[in-house]
Amino acid sequence: MDIVFIEDLAVETVIGIYDWERKIRQKVVFNIEMGTDIKPAATTDTIDEALDYKAVAKRVISFVEQSDFQLVETMAERVAEIILTEFDVRWLSLKLSKPGAVRGSKAVGVKIERSK
């Protein structure tokens, strides 16, 4: 299996459990690895045969910008479901970080792996 990845995709959204968090937009950062077969795209050299990472990124951005979750766990699960359902991806590893959520740390978050 080959891996197509999206690294450090930053999106502004409403996320958090505290009242003050519900009133602001915060940055979340995605690192996504997607298992697929790149041979058809490499053979034809056309985007029609490729996993279009730009389309994946645009879909994730659109969904996350409009979302309103309390937990990063819920957001990670929903984004993974979208990618596995809407794109030719058999497996994915998704890391969702919330920078600045804990004082003294660069970021906190979750990393999940899901497959069809």
The pair of structure tokens assigned to 85 is 């359902």
Residue 50's pLDDT is 97
Residue 93's pLDDT is 98
Return mean pLDDT, the chain.
97
Which residues are designated catalytic? 98
Print the domain residue range for 90. Answer: 2-115
CATH code, 9? 3.30.1130.10
pLDDT over 90 at 109, yes or no? yes
In the chain, how many domains are there? 1
Phi, psi of 26 (to 5 degrees): -125, 155
The rounded distance, in Å, linking the Cα atoms of 116 and 112 is 14
pTM score of the predicted model: 0.95
